[in-house]
Amino acid sequence: MYLSNRVHRTTATTVLIAALACSGCGRDHKSAGSAGDPILIGVSLPLTGDFSEPGKGIQRGYEVWAKVVNDGGGLLGRPVKLKFLDDQSSADRVVSDYEQLVGKDKVNLLFGPFSTRLVVPAARVAEEYGMLFVEPAGAAKQVFEQGFKNLFYAAPAVATEHYKLLASYLLALPEATRPKTAAYASMDDPFAQSTAYGLKAKLEAGGITTLVNEVYPPSTTDFSSIAAKIAASKADIVVGGTQYQDGVNLIIALQQLAYQPKLAAFSTAPTEAEFTKAIGNKAEGILAPTGYTPQSKFPSNVEFVRKYAAQFGGPPGEDEANGYTTGQVVAAAVLAVGCAEQGDCQRKLVSWVRDHQVETVVGALKWDDKGRPQGAHMIQQWVGGKIQVVLPDAMKEADLIYPKPTW
Amino acid sequence: MRRRGPAVRLVALAIGAALILAFPAVAANPYMLTVGIGILNYAVLATAWNFVGGFTGYISLGHGALAGLGAYGTGLLVVAGLPSFVALGVAAAIVAVLAIPIGVAALRVRGASFVIVSIALVLILLLVFQSWAQVTGGSRGFVVPRPFPDLHRAEHHRVFFFLFAGLLAVALATWWLIDRSHFGLGLKAIREDEDKAQSLGIPTFAAKLVVFVVSAAFTALGGGLYALWFGDLDPVFQFSVLSGSTTVLMALLGGVRHLFGPLLGALVVGVGLEYFKLEYGDTPLHLVATGVLLGGVVMFMPEGVIPGLSGLFKRWFAPGEVSIREVTAAALLDANRREPEPRVTDRADATEAGR
Amino acid sequence: MSLPLVVQSLVLGVLLGGLYALLAAGLTLYFGVMRVVMIAHSAFLILAAYLAWYFHGLTGLDPLLSLPITVPLFFGCGVAMQRLVLARLRPATRTMMSVLLTFAIALVIEGGLGTVFTGTQRRLQLGYSSASLELFGARVAVVKLIAFALAAAAMAALYLVLTKTKFGQALRATIQHREAAQLVGIQTDRVAGYGFGLGLATAAIGGTALALDSTIYPSLHWRWIGPLMAIIVVGGLGSVPGTAIAAMLLGMLMSLLQIPLGTTWAQTVFYIALFATLAFRPHGLFGGRLATRF
């Protein structure tokens, strides 16, 4: 019997819809509910793509935290288990990842992803499902203006304040040595831009003229024209609101033009392990803001550094510390409130974090009603081949070099 | 036999519609709902694309541009103060109007240049929306306020599932109407052989333009509805040649000449991608799979998988039943160009010659 | 807009234009030979760049030394692709279908690169990566000069092959008028295959040149396909000298426009040139009868 293509097509469509409908039901994971069951913590991180270097750092921080907690008997007597998804640095994927974690995998708790760009959409998912959202990397102004009630940033200060100490230092220099002009280049990314613009606002208010102010999309790899503008302006200092690879590329482009600023400050890139090699071992004098130093003497930090070295070798960086801090904040809340489930428990966790201070590897943290932490970032510099804290004086490991040696 | 066709079709249609509408109720969790919405979104975009691809034979890889314009248009209008669904309609209307000069420019050229132009359109819009950050938020993303702000997220998904289903129904209905109409017949003539169609007096340029505008309107509606649902827009995803070509893959896979072809393709590809993601995580392998699938479809079944398979089916079990509606001019030309077969007595040989 | 900055941008534009000319030359060859829009060309460029990077990582030798391996490899790939895959498409719908098919190949390459090398961005670290020279009053990076020199040498070699060798003349004849070429006894199928191989061989050289001063990642090919297509349309589909001239012009224009407009807006110049060409002179600079000039 001969049926037309149309009937075939319609029938096939119907069958497929039925198949999809059936596959949609029935296959559901049971949420870990009772004592003894592991506490499942869901995270989506950019393990590939534009933000992969810092993303992997945060993953290591989370993993050390999980090991430390489990070695100590777990949380509320239950072992913790991390479920990682790779969002490939994409804002689309991070949303569907957190949907999957909350809706399908029914995780008990959430940890935040990396980069403000990804934190905002992810936080919305958490907010609309009523989950506590402590995140290690959403520091820009934008994050705290969305009206989120469940979000807390696990680091000492927000992005616009990252360079606060450097601004004070520069403006306090005597007239003769103080820089007069500045060039800024930042990625069109809320975090990177916020750090650079925070510094820019303070320096402009203090009388340092802005000669160049360039913004570029995240996928930019060719910096010859931006570097040419900066070099041609002969600005005294250059400030980069960067992530990792773009920072490396910008510096190489500036080096290729033999531009020698008196001071060079970049966010994120100089704190990554691969940095010096990537720019040809010419990092001496480059500055970066940081929320963390392995040398700090906070009690949980000493243990963190030791355990991290045992698991991964070498000292932890800022991203790793931010991840660890997130874990510490969530753990403190869970232990205080005594539950780790979706639903009403999450509201109690949120209120607890709102009203309390938590001891972490970056010091004592507490938050305002929008989730902003109330501390201050440090300034690091590459001195003698190592990255060291140079500001504030109370915590410094080396003296700040100014002007910068030639690169 | 032929009388049973329409009845069977109607029943199947009713079952299909019922299943779609019942999906939110049987979906195991809100995450599966989002997968369903994603597939409906693909289906809307693929069906909208198929106005151009199916009726005129032009392969446009640039429909991503129109969807992106619809999305950002809706978002910007909502932020400017319009109610969400009014913004959606206005944005789609604006894109439809914009499609006129775009269509005039793109349709003047044929073949290779048309494809190049359609890709170039997506890429230039990507650059514009990335650079014009004060208006569009650039790469920092553009947040579209929720139409129903107080809904719990699962409810929000449910509502939008039905909205997308409604949009799909309207798009399918429009496609069906054009398919049956005189206008549609003219378009199909263009698809088979544009020069001959022109010589027959069909106003080819005007016809192509009209169907392009209709396609653009539906694509913009799909993009705008997505913006209202998803809430966060990034130029890299809204203006993407890759997503435009996934749409093309879906339409081709299901069969461009048929009403439910794109929907079918959307189902297959959507479910496939989701399955891949859940089993293997987000690896680049799904790009390889998409590429292999697209390549396979183009090489071996350019009419689509279902027509291809049922063609095979027919050749084996119902030989000789070949209608001009089922065979393209290109295939007919090839068949005629091949060496004439000696007189056949065997059923197997007859099927070869009849192809 | 100071003079040194303009000079700097001009010099940069020339170097860029030369590189673009090489990258786009293959693309126009494919079209001339088979009326095929080969979207996978830029994916092959990135593949070549990855191979150069990998070679350097593996052996520690200069990536340019990988050319004796990659060029013949890509040539063979091109011939195989033309004979086994593209020749199979029906002539009536070849152009449209070739777009989709080569698009599919590009996706496979991107997915393959992502799987093997992961999505992490890579950059060649050579001893001379940040070295520079003073040239005509502008500061020029050594790696950009080397890339330009490589591109110029390859274009010169291409010119010699196309004008002075029998194969080159057969290729030009095939591009110009396939049936007539068959009539004079040229084996157009085989020539088309070799023409394709030649195009892909230029991709090998171009990709290696690209790797010297670029950050590479699997989805980088999207950034190149637009400008390259614009260049071949402006130059005239199928015309290699047209492509070279269009590449230089557009490269310099983009570089100069970066001063007032910034990097992102300046990139739109390619697309504006493309639309303008299609609107006012669809055959491009040297198109029309497809590479009648040489």
pLDDT (tens digit, 9 = 90+) per residue, B277-319? 777 666 677 788 888 888 888 888 777 776 777 777 777 766 6
CB environment A130-162: b (16+ within 10 A), e (fewer): bbbbbbbbbbbbbbbebebebbbbbbbbbbbbb
Q: Which residues of chain A make contact with B13, given a CB cutoff of 8 A?
A: 10, 14
Q: Which residue does chain C place closest to B293, by CA atoms?
A: C104
Q: Which helix (H) or strand (E) holds A390?
A: strand A386-391
Q: How far apart are alpha carbons B219 and A299 in whole angstroms? A: 58
C29 CA: distance to closest CA in chain B (Å): 14
C113 and B284 within 8 Å at the Cβ level: the answer is yes
Report the percent of chain B where pLDDT is more than 70. Answer: 86
DSSP letter for each residue of A47-112: -SSTTHHHHHHHHHHHHHHHHHHHHTT-BTTB-EEEEEEE-TT-HHHHHHHHHIIIIIS--SEEB-
B250 CA: distance to closest CA in chain A (Å): 13
Q: Which residues of chain C make contact with B119, given a CB cutoff of 8 A?
A: 39, 225-226, 229
C255 and A225 within 8 Å at the Cβ level: the answer is yes
Q: Which residues of chain B make contact with A217, given a CB cutoff of 8 A?
A: 130-131, 138-139
Q: Are strands B232-233 and C138-141 parallel, antiparallel or unpaired?
A: unpaired
Q: Does A212 touch chain C (CB under 8 A)?
A: no
Confidence of residue A375 (pLDDT cuts 50, 70, 90): confident
pLDDT for the residue numbered B325:
56
Q: Does A274 touch chain C (CB under 8 A)?
A: no
Q: Which helix (H) or strand (E) holds A313?
A: none
* pLDDT tens per residue, range B233-276: 999 888 988 888 889 889 988 888 888 889 999 998 888 888 87
Q: Which residues of chain B make contact with A27, given a CB cutoff of 8 A?
A: 28
Which residues, including other chains, have CB under 8 Å from residue C138's CB and lie 6 or more apart?
A: C4, C7, C8, C10, C11, C12
**Based on C-alpha coordinates, what's the Rg of chain C?**
19
Helices (H) and strands (E) in chain A, counts: 12, 14
* Of A333, A341, A335, A337, nearest in space to A31 by CA: A341
Q: Which residue does chain C place closest to A247, by CA atoms?
A: C215
* pLDDT tens per residue, range C112-123: 998 888 777 888
* Tokens standing for residue A391: 């500001």
* Tokens standing for residue C120: 């992490």
C9, C259 Cβ separation under 8 angstroms: yes
Q: How far apart are alpha carbons C212 and C204 in whole angstroms? A: 13
Lowest pLDDT segment from A61-65, A123-127, A279-283, C195-199: A279-283
Q: Which helix (H) or strand (E) holds B312?
A: helix B305-317
pLDDT (mean) for A76-90: 90
Q: Where are the beta strands (DSSP E) in A142-189?
A: 151-153, 181-187
Left if phi > 0, otherwise alpha if psi is -120 to 50, otherwise beta: which for A126? alpha
Q: How far apart are alpha carbons C286 and C294 in whole angstroms? A: 10
Residue B223 or A5, more confident = B223
DSSP letter at A297 equals -
- Amino acid letter, residue B174: T
A342, A131 Cβ separation under 8 angstroms: yes
Position A52 pLDDT exceeds 80: no
Query: Between chain B and chain C, how many beta carbons pairs sit less than 8 Å apart?
Result: 142
Q: How far apart are alpha carbons A6 and A150 in whole angstroms? A: 52
pLDDT for the residue numbered A122:
93
A244 CA: distance to closest CA in chain C (Å): 10
CB environment B221-253: b (16+ within 10 A), e (fewer): bbbbbbbbbbbbbbbbbbbbbbbbbbbbbbbbb
Q: Which residue does chain C place closest to A257, by CA atoms?
A: C139
Q: Which residues of chain C make contact with A226, given a CB cutoff of 8 A?
A: 263
Q: What is the reported pTM?
A: 0.84
Note which residues in 90-109 of chain C have CB less than 8 A from chain B.
90, 92-93, 95-97, 99-101, 103-108
A101 CA: distance to closest CA in chain B (Å): 9
Confidence of residue A395 (pLDDT cuts 50, 70, 90): confident
Query: Would you give the distance in Å from CA B137 to the centre of its chain?
Result: 28
A240 CA: distance to closest CA in chain C (Å): 16
B214, B174 Cβ separation under 8 angstroms: yes
B279, A30 Cβ separation under 8 angstroms: no
* Of B228, B73, B220, nearest in space to B136 by CA: B73
pLDDT for the residue numbered B354:
44
DSSP letter at C133 equals E
* pLDDT tens per residue, range B180-213: 888 888 888 887 877 888 888 888 888 889 999 9
- Cis-peptide, bond into residue B147, ω within 30° of zero: no
DSSP letter at A367 equals B
* Tokens standing for residue A251: 């510096």
Q: How far apart are alpha carbons A78 and A31 in whole angstroms? A: 14
pLDDT (mean) for B137-158: 85
Q: Which chains have 3+ CB pairs within 8 A of B? A: A, C
The CB-side HSE value for A131 (13 A sphere, CA atoms) comes to: 29
Q: Which helix (H) or strand (E) holds C62?
A: none
A256 CA: distance to closest CA in chain C (Å): 5
- In the numeric block, the tokens 């079952």 are attached to B15
Q: How far apart are alpha carbons B338 and C89 in whole angstroms? A: 15
A221, A249 Cβ separation under 8 angstroms: yes
Q: Which residues of chain C make contact with A215, given a CB cutoff of 8 A?
A: 262
Report the percent of chain A where pLDDT is more than 90. Answer: 42
Tally of CB atoms within 10 A around B300:
10
pLDDT for the residue numbered A12:
58
Q: Does A211 touch chain C (CB under 8 A)?
A: no
Q: Are strands C132-135 and C138-141 parallel, antiparallel or unpaired?
A: antiparallel
Q: Does A245 touch chain C (CB under 8 A)?
A: yes
Q: Does A219 touch chain B (CB under 8 A)?
A: yes
- In the numeric block, the tokens 């090839």 are attached to B334
Which residues, including other chains, have CB under 8 Å from residue A249's CB and lie 6 or more apart?
A: A220, A221, A222, A223, C123, C215
C174 CA: distance to closest CA in chain B (Å): 19
Q: Are strands A39-45 and A80-86 parallel, antiparallel or unpaired?
A: parallel
Position B174 pLDDT exceeds 90: yes
B119 and C218 within 8 Å at the Cβ level: the answer is no
Which residues, including other chains, have CB under 8 Å from residue B230's CB and lie 6 or more apart?
A: A92, A95, B144
Lowest pLDDT segment from B224-238, C52-66, C278-292: C278-292
Question: What is the CATH number assigned to the segment(s) B4-303?
Answer: 1.10.3470
Helices (H) and strands (E) in chain B, counts: 17, 2
- Classified as helix, coil or strand, B133 is helix
Q: Does A4 touch chain B (CB under 8 A)?
A: yes
Cα angle at A283 between A280 and A287, to 5 degrees?
150
B326 and A5 within 8 Å at the Cβ level: the answer is yes
Q: Are strands A363-365 and A358-360 parallel, antiparallel or unpaired?
A: antiparallel
* Tokens standing for residue C208: 């290696």
B124 and C268 within 8 Å at the Cβ level: the answer is yes
**Based on C-alpha coordinates, what's the Rg of chain B?**
22
Position B321 pLDDT exceeds 60: no
Burial classification of residue C179, based on how many CB atoms lie within 10 Å of its CB (0-12 exposed, 13-18 middle, 19 or more buried): exposed
Note which residues in 32-51 of chain C have CB less than 8 A from chain B.
35, 37, 39
Note which residues in 156-185 of chain C have CB less than 8 A from chain B.
none
DSSP letter at C134 equals E
Lowest pLDDT segment from B61-75, B185-199, C220-234: B185-199
Report the residue from B61, B119, B285 with minimal CB separation from C111. B285
B306 and A12 within 8 Å at the Cβ level: the answer is yes
Position A93 pLDDT exceeds 90: no
A229 CA: distance to closest CA in chain C (Å): 7
A378, A290 Cβ separation under 8 angstroms: yes
C93, B330 Cβ separation under 8 angstroms: yes
* pLDDT tens per residue, range A105-150: 999 999 999 888 899 999 999 998 889 999 998 888 888 888 899 9
Tally of CB atoms within 10 A around B289:
18
* Of A377, A375, A402, A389, nearest in space to A171 by CA: A402
**Based on C-alpha coordinates, what's the Rg of chain A?**
24
* Tokens standing for residue A152: 């807390």
Query: Would you give the distance in Å from CA C169 to the centre of its chain?
Result: 21
Q: Does A217 touch chain B (CB under 8 A)?
A: yes
Q: Does C213 touch chain B (CB under 8 A)?
A: no
pLDDT (mean) for A206-210: 92
C271 and B123 within 8 Å at the Cβ level: the answer is yes
Q: Does A375 touch chain C (CB under 8 A)?
A: no
Q: How large is the ipTM? A: 0.85
pLDDT (mean) for A348-367: 90
- Classified as helix, coil or strand, C186 is coil
